[in-house]
Amino acid sequence: MSISRCPEVIGVVRRRRSAVVKMILEESFDTYEKMLRHCSEAYSVGDCITITDVCMWPQVQMTEIYMVRVKEELNR
55-72 pLDDT per residue, tens: 888 888 888 887 776 555
The domains found in the chain, sorted by start residue, are 3-74 (1.20.1050.10)
CA pair distance 70, 75, nearest whole angstrom: 9
pLDDT of res. 10: 66
Segment 15-69, tens digit of pLDDT: 788 888 888 888 888 888 888 887 777 788 778 888 888 888 888 888 888 777 6
CB 21 within 8 A of CB 62: yes
The whole-model pTM stands at 0.61
